[in-house]
């Protein structure tokens, strides 16, 4: 971030560290040759550490939605009973993909701003079935809520042990605590443009042994997103179709940065920026959308007060170099969101708070100068254990 570069505070694509940007400018290699095989094998081994899995991780050239689609078509058949737990727009999208391909989808929706309740999931599972799969969203980017995935997956294991647990972890994995194998997750999807600090273009899908067994009999129509084809190709260091080679170069560089920082410290940094954003926005007088117990550490959503014109407000923010995201689906025009994942630091959040303060002052709103910046800084320092 510098004078001429905006503070891009949307929940992905995130801004890129210089080393990642530069890596993307490298000359191409033969994607069917030895250099690519070394690159892909190394990336996969390293992704597994961030996923915390000994299962397979496949790299698919597509937006995150492609990764979700690959999970549906590779492991399910038309008519399969699927419970789709949804707490927002992306949970709805996942349910829709399964419906479009002919799964027999039961949607279990929770109020936007709330997390899914494991007890209600148990009830829903008991009331139907036999379930082939349960879909869930780790971090619902549209509502800025992080689901208790471990508890939800446990509910599935207890009530419907044969069901595959398929998780959209696109906007949280690599930023906040996650344990693919420890939580018994069968399929987990993530996307390059989120916590991974890489341009859009790649998604990653982990696959358990149980999921591969299901793939052997899955009858959904598929071609590009057939994960079995990706696995076969990966075994010889390739991808079935031409991959986004430049994004792979970037990912290689980003993983090096992430390894240097260390997974636990990455999680701590996200906890600190999450706390900082929530404290700063609250001090500015905004009401937050998410249930505080499940507030996301990668994105925060705040209600736009009725007497604040979103277009004017957002235009002024942009002029001062702060780019935030609007609401999605039913929340369009009602909330704004601040992304804080991947390439994000506490000082970048303090900058965002300073811009928000100035903008609100320009709009004549009652703001105590410096208060939000201070509240954000103190919250971050508390989160990091540096002050009480
Ligand atoms: C939780 C979640 N799921 C799915 C998606 C869709 O990813 P993409 O836009 O890369 O298709 C996003 C994107 O923001 C997301 O945050």
- pLDDT at residue 115, rounded to an integer: 98
- Cβ of 94 less than 6 Å from ligand 1: no
Share the mean pLDDT of the chain: 97
170 lines ligand 1 (CB under 6 A): yes
Atom of ligand 1 nearest to the CA of 66: 11
Question: Which residue, 95, 3, 2, 15, is CA-closest to 339?
Answer: 15
Q: Which of 92, 137, 144, 171 for mutating ligand 1's site (highest number of atoms within 8 Å of CB)? A: 171
Distance 170 CA to ligand 1 centre (A): 6
Give the number of other CB atoms < 10 A from CB of residue 17: 17
Q: Is the CB of 101 under 6 A from ligand 1?
A: no
Q: How do beta strands 133-137 and 164-168 pair? A: parallel
Question: Does the CB atom of residue 384 touch ligand 1 within 6 A?
Answer: no
pLDDT tens per residue, range 216-250: 999 999 999 999 999 999 999 999 999 999 999 99
- In order of their start, the domains of the chain are 7-13+262-383 (3.90.1150.10), 18-259 (3.40.640.10)
pTM above 0.95, yes or no: yes
Instruction: Please determine, for residue 256, whether its predicted confidence score (pLDDT) is greater than 80.
Output: yes
> Is residue 174 in contact with ligand 1, taking CB distance under 6 Å?
no
For ligand 1, whether the C-beta of 171 sits within 6 Å is yes
**C-alpha–C-alpha distance, residues 345 and 253, integer Å:** 18
Q: What is the pLDDT of residues 49-86, one digit of tens each?
A: 999 999 999 999 999 999 999 999 999 999 999 999 99
> 5 pLDDT band (50/70/90 cuts)?
confident
Q: How confident is the model at residue 346 (pLDDT cuts 50, 70, 90)?
A: very high
Q: What distance in angstroms lies between residue 315's CA and the mean position of ligand 1's atoms? A: 25
Q: Decide whether any atom of ligand 1 lies within 6 Å of the 90 Cβ.
A: yes
Ligand 1 atom with the shortest distance to the CA of 193: 10
Q: Does residue 298 line the site of ligand 1, with CB under 6 A?
A: no
Work out which ligand 1 atom sits closest to the CA atom of 138: 1
Residue 132 to residue 268: CA distance in whole angstroms? 36
pLDDT value for 1: 52
Mean pLDDT over 301-320 rounds to 96
Distance 316 CA to ligand 1 centre (A): 27
Mean pLDDT, range 144-157, rounded to an integer? 98
Q: Please give the Cα distance from 322 to 220 (Å, whole number).
A: 44
For ligand 1, say whether the CB of 63 is within 6 Å of any of its atoms.
Answer: yes
What pLDDT was estimated at residue 309? 94
Atom of ligand 1 lying closest to residue 65 CA = 11
8 A C-beta contact, residue 372 and residue 280: yes
User: What is the mean predicted confidence (pLDDT) over 267-282?
Assistant: 98
Q: Is the pLDDT of residue 323 over 60?
A: yes
Ligand 1: which residue has its CA nearest to atom 8? 64
φ, ψ of residue 341 to 5 degrees: the values are: -140, 160
In tens, the pLDDT along 117-148 reads 999 999 999 999 999 999 999 999 999 999 99
From 13, 62, 65, 196, the mutation candidate for ligand 1 (largest count of ligand atoms within 8 A of CB) is 65
Predicted pLDDT of residue 379: 98
């Amino acid at each position: 971030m510098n004078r001429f570069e905006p503070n891009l505070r949307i929940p992905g694509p995130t801004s890129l560290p210089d080393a990642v940007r530069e890596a993307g400018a490298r000359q191409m290699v033969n994607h069917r040759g030895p250099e690519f095989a070394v690159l892909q094998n190394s990336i996969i081994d390293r992704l597994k550490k961030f996923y915390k899995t000994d299962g397979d991780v496949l790299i698919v050239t597509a937006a995150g939605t492609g990764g979700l689609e690959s999970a549906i078509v590779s492991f399910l058949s038309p008519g399969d009973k699927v419970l789709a737990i949804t707490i927002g727009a992306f949970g709805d999208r996942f349910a829709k993909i399964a419906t479009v391909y002919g799964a027999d989808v039961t949607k279990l929706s929770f109020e936007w701003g709330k997390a899914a309740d494991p007890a209600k999931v148990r009830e829903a599972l008991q009331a139907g079935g036999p379930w082939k799969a349960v879909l869930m969203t780790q971090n619902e980017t549209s509502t800025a809520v992080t689901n208790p995935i471990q508890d939800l997956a446990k509910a599935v294991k207890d009530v419907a042990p044969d069901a595959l647990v398929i998780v959209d972890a696109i906007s949280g994995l690599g930023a906040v605590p996650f344990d693919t194998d420890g939580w018994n997750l069968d399929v987990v999807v993530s996307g390059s443009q989120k916590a991974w600090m890489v341009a859009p273009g790649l998604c990653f899908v982990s696959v358990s042994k149980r999921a591969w067994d299901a793939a052997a009999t899955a009858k959904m129509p598929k071609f590009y997103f057939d994960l079995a084809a990706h696995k076969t190709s990966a075994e010889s260091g390739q991808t079935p179709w031409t991959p986004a080679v430049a994004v792979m170069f970037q990912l290689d560089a980003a993983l090096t940065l992430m390894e240097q920082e260390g997974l636990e410290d990455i999680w701590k940094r996200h906890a600190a920026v999450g706390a900082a954003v929530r404290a700063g926005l609250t001090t500015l007088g905004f009401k937050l959308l998410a249930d505080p117990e499940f507030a996301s550490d990668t994105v925060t959503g705040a209600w736009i007060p009725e007497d604040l014109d979103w277009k004017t407000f957002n235009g002024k923010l942009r002029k001062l170099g702060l780019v935030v995201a609007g609401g999605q689906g039913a929340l369009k025009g009602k909330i704004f969101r601040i992304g804080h994942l991947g390439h994000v630091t506490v000082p970048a959040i303090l900058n965002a708070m300073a811009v928000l303060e100035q903008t609100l002052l320009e709009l004549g709103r009652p703001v105590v100068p410096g208060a939000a910046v201070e509240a954000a800084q103190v919250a971050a320092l508390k989160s990091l254990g540096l002050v009480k």
